[in-house]
Amino acid sequence: MEELSRIQKGTWGVLLLLALIAPFLVNFDLYLIHVGIVITFNVMLATSLWLIWSLGLVSFAHAGFMGVGAYASALLLHWFGLPMWYGLWIGALLSGLLAMLISIPLMRTKAVYFFMASWAVGEVIKRVFAYFKGTFGGWDGIFDIKPPVLDVGFLQIDFTNRVAYYYLALLFGVLTVWIIHRMNSSRTGMVYWSIQQNELLAQHIGINVFRQKVICFTISCIMAGTTGALYAHYQTYISPHSFDIWTSEFALVHVIVGGLTTVGGPVAGAISLTIIDEALRATGYFRTMFFGFVLIASVLLLPGGLETIPRRLRELFNRSTGK
């Protein structure tokens, strides 16, 4: 419905190309490739969180659902010896199933009440992992979650290789962004945004608002679950701490700094803030403080987020050429 302009298409193309050749650009530096993988995870989390935002809702349960995917996949490996190829899908589906069930009461709340209820959901999920020590390993978490090996006869790829894992994560990252973009630029997006704009009117012209909210939340949490499974097998270690409120909050910050109106916003936010965060690692304790400064500065100096930069540049250009 809303076609991308040529410039937008070009920007996405360049971004994808850069992502594809990134390992070569950094000369296979393992640390930088690690940053690349973290970026992909953050992009997946931020964009899927943004999908819920298109309904006008801010969910703080996102990290919890990421955890469901991660734990499911890790436990499938430990209990049944099933590699990530199974855990990825089963974890994502379990996360979606749980999201669907929970969203039935959750979607009866609105605005700040939704925010608090979703926070509680995320916290409960985390505490369940911590409480049942025998099943989920308690606060100690689960160790030794092996990355998978792809074996299709003539070709064998071991994903303990970081470059290989980067491309695997990138594949899912691109898929996530593509799906969300497609949904958002079609009538599905129109329905979601209409609910955000005016829920009352949306109901009265025949949209089953409750159903659309449940579906949207479920799809988003399936994506979070997928991210969780990929995260677990990359880090090889997960604990409840990996999925607490901060993870949701960072995803939200990525969305806000990036911009709220197009999928490009959260992508730009996740990429730039992950890089800034890593660059600040050397500052030790001050890292969080600097991160806070960057956040406040971007909200104050760049209202609307990074996605408004092209428009601002255009306006600046027009002004300077006197048009």
* Structure token digits, residue 62: 């996102």
186 counts as binding another protein under rule CB under 8 A: yes
Give the closest residue to 247 by CA, choosing from 69, 97, 101, 23: 69
* C-alpha angle 93-90-173 in degrees, rounded to nearest 5: 75
107 counts as binding another protein under rule CB under 8 A: no
The count of chain residues that interact with another protein, using the rule CB under 8 A, is 25
Give the residue with the Cβ less far from another protein, 189 or 259: 189
**Candidate list 204, 311, 312, 314; residue touching another protein; CB under 8 A:** 204
Q: How far is the CB of 222 from another protein (least distance, A)?
A: 12
Stretch that binds another protein, among 189-197, 232-240, 247-255, 292-300 (CB under 8 A): 189-197
4 counts as binding another protein under rule CB under 8 A: no
288 counts as binding another protein under rule CB under 8 A: no
Give the residue with the Cβ less far from another protein, 100 or 179: 179
- Output the DSSP codes for 55-93: TT---S-HHHHHHHHHHHHHHHHHHH---HHHHHHHHHH
Stretch that binds another protein, among 163-171, 207-215, 225-233, 271-279 (CB under 8 A): 207-215
- Strand blocks (E) in the chain: 149-151, 156-158
Cβ density class 265-282: b for 16+ within 10 Å, e for less = bbbbbbbbbbebbbebee
Compute the distance between CA of residue 145 and CA of residue 83 in angstroms, rounded to an integer: 9
* Structure token digits, residue 164: 């290989």
Stretch that binds another protein, among 90-98, 154-162, 176-184, 297-305 (CB under 8 A): 176-184
Q: How far is the CB of 180 from another protein (least distance, A)?
A: 10
209 counts as binding another protein under rule CB under 8 A: yes
5 counts as binding another protein under rule CB under 8 A: no
182 counts as binding another protein under rule CB under 8 A: yes
Q: How far is CA 122 from the centre of its chain?
A: 15
Report yes or no: 173 and 45 within 8 Å, Cβ to Cβ: no
Q: Summarize as ranges the residues that interact with another protein (CB under 8 A).
A: 1, 179, 182-183, 186-191, 193-194, 197-198, 200-209, 215
